[in-house]
Structure 1
Amino acid sequence: MDYDLIGRLLLSLPAADAENARMAALADRISTYFTRNENLIYRGVAGIGRHGGAILFLDKRRHPSRKIVVKYSLSDEADADLRNEAQFLEMLRGAEHIGQMIPLAEATLNVSGTGKRPTLALDFIPYGTIYAFRERMDQNRYRMPSRLLWLVRQVLAMAFPPQGGPDEPLRREQFHRHMPLGVMQNSPHGNNVIIGDLTSDDFEHSLVPIFKLIDFGRGEILPDTLDAVYTNIANIGVLFIILALPRVDESYIENVPEGGWPYEFVDKQTGEGRRMGTEAPPFFTRSKYIDVELRDLVARCMAIDIEDTPSLEQLVEEAERGVAKRPEDIVYEDTGVDPRQTEEDVPIRTLVQRFILDAGTIEEEAATLNRRTVNHHLGTTLLGINATTRPGPAQRRRFQQSNVEPDMVVDNDID
């Protein structure tokens, strides 16, 4: 790398761009530590920040090869977060709805040239955050029960960590005979739920891509297990509302009145009407475009009184039942909504294909992030000065419906 050239370029940029360029150049420099491994091909920078960043590699140890992300830290605080994340991801290894740590010898060492900082290798999850997911979809009613179930499964993994082995197949989160743990992720916002792949042979993930929870840098284990589980259940509601409603982020939770907002629902066990306080805001609970049972369940997840909150066992049961519903079983408060237009397989497949699997130039993906990722002064994406030259758009298979021959589409994402 020509550092003299980089220095001259930095001097020619505005201050903000110069800082971005400096951090990206540092990421490129860090990448050279890993490119000594002949199994790793550097593909660019996945993210940069003042306290650390992430770089993207193609890992040839598997056939077919896979992409991995290596996170690095640049401060003592970030060091602690990264080590903490590694501890929790080791515990959660094997959980289907949790981002997975990748065995990589270099990731257990300190990176020279950056103040001797630790690194962490993670499985690359391709399709961006849930913010990108919902903003690409004009109709946010599609397969909402599935989204809730995946959030529930993330909480189930934290309560009953699978502790799988390295490179073992992922498995469905489940209860086990041991007492639950009070594991909390402690950062429930839309940038920490990532869209994964479709699984064509799995009913739950055959129509809408799987969601995975990432970033356990602030994770902790509470001694009060019940408190941890119910706090995680409340966070399911926080994230689900972000998913369900456009132009909403987690900041809405800051405006909850004392005692919560009043909400009335019918107790399914007794058939009686009940009234409770909930942190679910009126703009969600008054929505006429969400299945009434699903809306009740989310509002109860965010109940002020724990007695109004479903247990984790009840929540899993209700969420699984919701996913199994047929379109004609769904009841909207607005009787003018035709569930066949929103919950049947064909429109869902079409929507996901168009707005998720077929979307994604680098510039479009960059627009979903909080900071600039394209430096037009240098004509590079996240600078990527040392990145291997791209061979051009790669071919990848279009999502295959049953009994339909797949065709090919151009993948403009990072190869």
Structure 2
Amino acid sequence: MDYDLIGRLLLSLPAGDAETARMAALADKISTYFTPNENLVYRGVAGIGRHGGAIIFLDRRRHPSRKIVVKYSISDQADADLRNEAQFLEMLRGAEHIGQTIPLAEATLNVSGTGKRPTLALDFIPYGTIYAFRSRMDRTHYRVPSRFLWRAFLCLVRQVLAMAFPPQGGPDEPLRRERFHQHRPLGVVQNSPHGNNVIIGDLTSDDFEHSLAPILKLIDFGRGEILRDEEGAIYDNIGNIGVLFIIIFERRLDESYLDNIPELGWQYEFVDRQTGENRRIGTAAPPFFTESKYIDVELRDLVVRCMAVSSDNTPSLEELVGEAERGVAKGPEDIVYEDTAVDPRQTETDEMIRNLVQRFILDAGTIEEEAATLNRRTVNHHLGTTLLGINATTRPGPAQRHQFKQSNLDANTVVDNDID
């Protein structure tokens, strides 16, 4: 790498652009700490920031090869977060709905003369974040089917189950579906529930839960902690299910809406499915969600209860698992909208879900491809490189695309649900 050339180019840029370019060049440099390992092939940058970043490698220790992401830090605070994350991910190893650590000998590196810095290797989860999924839909009128949302909800519930009952699997052991066990639950909280920390994974054709909609995995435990109040931790995590679900549901929203919750919450009335009685609770779920007429009423009620102001109105984790599994098993005829003029048998079909997933997830590009789309102006135009880096030994070709083999629609057909 010609660092003199890079330095001259950086001097010619505005301050903000120069910082972006400098961080991209640093990511390229950091990749050289790993490339002496002949089993690792540098493939690009998953993300960069002021305190660290993440770079992608092809790991040839397995057959077939797999991609891994190596997170690195370049500040004391980021060092602490990364070490903390490593401890929690080790505890959560083996959980199907949590990002997984990968054993890697190159555990530390010496960055820019600042001393030893920790690194953390993770499994590569290909289809970006929930925020990325929403941004792809921003200019459309596509309404997300409730049967897709039930599957997303179940993924979020299973993440909470993993934190309460960590599986503590061994390195490279098969992932296991999260389950209750006889031991006392742990008070693990992730403490960073936002759309960039929920990653979209692959479809799994042999698994009913993830054959129609991809798996969602929780990442970034840099702020994770264990609370002594285990029940309070579970209550907090269940509330965060609602926070993340509403971010998935409302694509023009971030979690800042939580800053404006009334002291007693927004009032919500619903019919208790168990008793048939009318109930009224205070909730942090905002009116634009609670008043939506185009989501399965049972799912809406459940999300609202997850965000109940009083823990007395919050469903237990056992109830959530059971209700979410039952919701995922629903067919189009089982979905009930508040607006009875719309027929879920037309808007909740498998074809609707398949086309949403194909268009906005599978055909939308992987993290690696998005890094190569020339979307970072300063790096691309001034340094003559994408975020795959000057030192990249290979450039990614077109990603292999999943197709729903059971779909009867042409691959180029797009079906938009134009309900507003």
**TM-score relative to the length of structure 1:** 0.92
Q: 2: distance between equivalents of 1:261 and 1:395?
A: 45
Which amino acid counterpart does residue 70 of structure 1 have in structure 2?
A: V
Aligned residue in 1 for 2:344:
339
Aligned residue in 1 for 2:72:
72
SS at match of 1:262: strand
Q: 2: distance between equivalents of 1:378 and 1:165?
A: 43
Aligned residue in 2 for 1:305:
310
Aligned residue in 1 for 2:110:
111
Aligned-residue CA RMSD (Å): 2.3
Alpha-carbon shift at residue 402 of structure 1 (Å): 4.2
Q: 2: distance between equivalents of 1:180 and 1:80?
A: 26
| Count of residue pairs the alignment pairs up | 404
Aligned residue in 2 for 1:190:
195
Equivalent of residue 254 in structure 1, options 245, 259, 265: 259
Which amino acid counterpart does residue 17 of structure 2 have in structure 1?
A: D
Alpha-carbon shift at residue 112 of structure 1 (Å): 5.0
Q: State how 1:237-386 maps to structure 2 within 5 Å.
A: 237-360=242-365, 365=370, 375-382=380-387, 384-386=389-391
Aligned residue in 2 for 1:410:
none
Alpha-carbon shift at residue 374 of structure 1 (Å): 5.2
Q: Is the 8 A contact 1:134 1:140 kept in 2?
A: no
Aligned residue in 2 for 1:131:
131
SS at match of 1:248: coil
Q: 2: distance between equivalents of 1:403 and 1:146?
A: 19
Q: Is the 8 A contact 2:190 2:224 kept in 1?
A: yes
Q: 1: distance between equivalents of 2:316 and 2:378?
A: 42
Aligned residue in 1 for 2:394:
389
Alpha-carbon shift at residue 59 of structure 1 (Å): 0.6
Q: 2: distance between equivalents of 1:62 and 1:25?
A: 29
Q: 2: distance between equivalents of 1:179 and 1:70?
A: 33
Q: 2: distance between equivalents of 1:194 and 1:47?
A: 13
Q: Is the 8 A contact 1:266 1:274 kept in 2?
A: yes
Q: 1: distance between equivalents of 2:72 and 2:31?
A: 10
Aligned residue in 2 for 1:217:
222
Q: Is the 8 A contact 1:74 1:115 kept in 2?
A: no
Higher mean alpha-carbon deviation, 8-17 vs 220-229, is at 8-17
Alpha-carbon shift at residue 264 of structure 1 (Å): 0.6
- Can you give the 5+ residue segments of structure 1 that lack an aligned partner in the other structure? 408-415
The yes-or-no answer on 1:398 pairing with 2:392 is no
Deviations 1:2-41 (A, max 9, x none): 1111111111222111111111111111111100100000
1:314–1:362 Cα change, 3 Å: closer
Aligned residue in 2 for 1:413:
none
Q: 2: distance between equivalents of 1:372 and 1:312?
A: 46
Q: Is the 8 A contact 1:47 1:373 kept in 2?
A: no
Give percent identity, aligned residues only.
Answer: 79
Q: 1: distance between equivalents of 2:21 and 2:7?
A: 10
Q: 2: distance between equivalents of 1:2 and 1:122?
A: 30
Higher relative contact order (CA 8 A, sep 6+): 2
- Can you give the 5+ residue segments of structure 2 that lack an aligned partner in the other structure? 412-420
The yes-or-no answer on 1:153 pairing with 2:152 is no
Equivalent of residue 164 in structure 1, options 161, 169, 189: 169
